[in-house]
Structure 1
Amino acid sequence: MSDSEHEFGLCLTHDVDRPYKTWAHALFYTALERDPSHLSALRYERNPYWQFDRIARLEDDLGVRSAFYFLSEPSLRSKSASQLRDWNEWVQLLFRYDLTQPELAEAMWKLADGGWEVGLHGSYDSYDDRERLAHEKERIERTLGEEITGGRQHYLNLDPPASWRHHRAIGLDYDASLGADTYGFQHGYDVRRPFDDEFVVFPLTFMETDLPDPGESFEAAWAVCAELLEEAAANDAVMTVLWHPRYFATDEFPGHARLYRRLIETAEEMGAWVGSPGAYYERYLSGEDERERATATDDRAETADD
């Protein structure tokens, strides 16, 4: 990152995997985790995973915006016989939602109208299927009523650089799927340009599940965040974080909303630029300003060589 006004960049993202918590979800997680609280937390009049308004209020209070990546997954009818023999395919179908439903479409419109970025969360098998990715992107754009510029693959599924060629070919400016097994700057401190052109990759610094559980030990979770912020500031980095919306359901995931707020507040106090990857791309990586910065960097390098 090259900006005399800011020490580093913090890009905020949310993968919209499960905007609804249904009885099917509750039973699945109860069986998986043997935790009956998943059932007790679910009542007819309540949807604890619908957190769009809460996240927007929190971020608006802090004067920042983030990106929300929405899924447009294939239906049961599109699955082959071999796919339907795969348990993971049934898990994806269990969590599937229809982004054209009026309340979801309205949530997307409200976010976009308020300055939040709406992007593509490529479905589980789409990372190596350009036609599928193009269809999902077009469906989101048709629902939203405007073009989208970036996104992230579901489960961070990726086959680089082939997946990035697909992303670039369908008209995306960036991808934010490049992750790692744990938190940290394992893919460097800056965005990557896999094709040496205007298409960029935002490596993921961490998602909330990489951290110690803030509900059990808030200070341990915060210590990791603080260390990463310091590392970002020391290296003029672009730091990208992922918080799934359901983790703002405080009854089920205590400490997460508080940790997210503290992360943003501290980054701002440290002089960071904070926003969505799309906004970062537009401000720092696109058009004439980026070319001028690249030229200035080359000039400095030649001077140093002389």
Structure 2
Amino acid sequence: MTTDWDPDGDGERPIPDGHDFALLLTHDVDRPYKTHQSLYYALSDSGRRLQHLRDLLPGRNPYWQFDRVARIEDKLGVRSAFYLLDEQPLRERPPGEWLSMDAWRLYGGRYDLTDPAIRSVVDDLRAGGWEVGLHGSYESFDDRERLRREKARVESVVGEPVRGGRQHYLNLDVPETWAHHRALGLQYDASPGSSSEAGFRYGHGVHRPFDDEFVVFPLTLMETALPDPGEDYDAAWAVCEDLLTEARDNRAVMSVLWHPRYFTERDFPGYAAVYRELVAWALDHGAWVGSPADFYDAADLGERVDPAAHTP
């Protein structure tokens, strides 16, 4: 299999007219329900033990933050992408894994795409102009048929074909994973990146690994790579401002990931405020801001272009 993917290359930077750089907003929907995590936090956080145990009561679900994300973005006049996960539940894993901490981390507390609440929030997001895409499960990166089934299930909830997404835990087998994506009709992938390091590790632009209309948007920043804003907000914001400034100075395509649960102020103080400030800064400094699918259209990425024509 041939690929033109160059991890050391800078990529092409087709910034829409009237803008100085681009900021792509994404959210991986991993755990919209706080379940067994409450017990873990109660045991490890004696000072707030009662608070964590209260999260197990009926009607309490601090991780359900779709409305808050949508309100923040709507007030700023932007839209983002939410990637839905169709992960295998722990009960369907081999019994030998049921006592494994890794299995609980990977498969415990997941959600069901047939959940009426999930279907309802997806309908609301789509009606409001948000993108809903595919978050390929942990083992799908090298299993085309599994990914095909997951894509079909997500599309049955969305009600239309999905255009792209990101692999769970950023799992990739390059270029095979992207060949699966392209064969299944996806237009882009947003997986390459790090959960612990921020930066333009794969250049300042987008990549075309097969030299065609399928593109890759490297991940610049996941919120987990920031200093904890609840402990040092200024340090967290400084990382964001440095990245934004680099993006502006290089006409870059910057991509960020904020998991919806990080908008829970009680469990993750400061992360929502950093996100809001990041988006506002980008808008104030001439960025095109929105979802990857909207950027794909705005930048005419479906039309194969000469990368040199978009490199400053």
Please name the residue that 1:173 is paired with: 187
Give the gaps of 5 or more residues in structure 1.
Answer: 302-306
Residues 173, 198 of structure 1: 8 Å contact kept: yes
Residues of 2 paired with 1:167 and 1:74: CA distance?
20
Residues 25, 94 of structure 1: 8 Å contact kept: no
TM-score (norm 1): 0.90
TM-score (norm 2): 0.88
Which range moved further: 206-215 or 69-78? 69-78
Deviation at 1:14, TM superposition (A): 0.4
SS in 1 for 2:88: coil
Please name the residue that 1:90 is paired with: 104
Find the partner of 1:196 among 196, 211, 221: 211
The answer to whether structure 1 residue 213 and structure 2 residue 228 are counterparts is yes
Residues of 1 paired with 2:86 and 2:103: CA distance?
15
SS in 2 for 1:239: strand
Please name the residue that 1:164 is paired with: 178
Find the partner of 1:297 among 284, 289, 309: 309
SS in 2 for 1:10: strand
Deviation at 1:90, TM superposition (A): 3.2
Find the partner of 1:139 among 132, 142, 153: 153
Aligned pair count reads 296
Structure 1 residues 98, 217: CA separation in 2 closer, same or farther (over 3 Å shift)?
same
Residues 17, 95 of structure 1: 8 Å contact kept: no
1:1-306 matches, within 5 Å, as 1-2=13-14, 3-22=16-35, 24-31=36-43, 36=49, 37-76=51-90, 78-80=92-94, 87-180=101-194, 181-287=196-302, 290-291=303-304, 293-294=305-306, 297=309
Q: Percent identity?
A: 56
Structure 1 residues 283, 4: CA separation in 2 closer, same or farther (over 3 Å shift)?
closer
SS in 2 for 1:127: coil
Deviation at 1:173, TM superposition (A): 0.6
Deviation at 1:26, TM superposition (A): 1.0
Give the gaps of 5 or more residues in structure 2.
Answer: 1-12
Question: Greater relative contact order (Cα 8 A, min sep 6): structure 1 or 2?
Answer: 2
Residues of 1 paired with 2:56 and 2:262: CA distance?
15
Deviation at 1:74, TM superposition (A): 2.0
Residues of 2 paired with 1:296 and 1:213: CA distance?
39
Deviation at 1:83, TM superposition (A): 5.8
Residues of 1 paired with 2:210 and 2:97: CA distance?
33
Structure with greater helix share of residues = 1
The one-character-per-residue Cα deviations of 1:142-182 (angstroms, maximum 9, x if unpaired) are 12211100011111111111111111111111111101340
Structure 1 residues 296, 88: CA separation in 2 closer, same or farther (over 3 Å shift)?
closer
Residues 230, 270 of structure 2: 8 Å contact kept: yes
Structure 1 residues 231, 174: CA separation in 2 closer, same or farther (over 3 Å shift)?
same
Deviation at 1:296, TM superposition (A): 8.2
- Opposite residue 130 of structure 2, the aligned amino acid is W
Deviation at 1:85, TM superposition (A): 7.5
RMSD: 2.2
Residues of 2 paired with 1:124 and 1:31: CA distance?
28
The one-character-per-residue Cα deviations of 1:223-249 (angstroms, maximum 9, x if unpaired) are 111100000001110000000000111
Residues 190, 217 of structure 2: 8 Å contact kept: yes
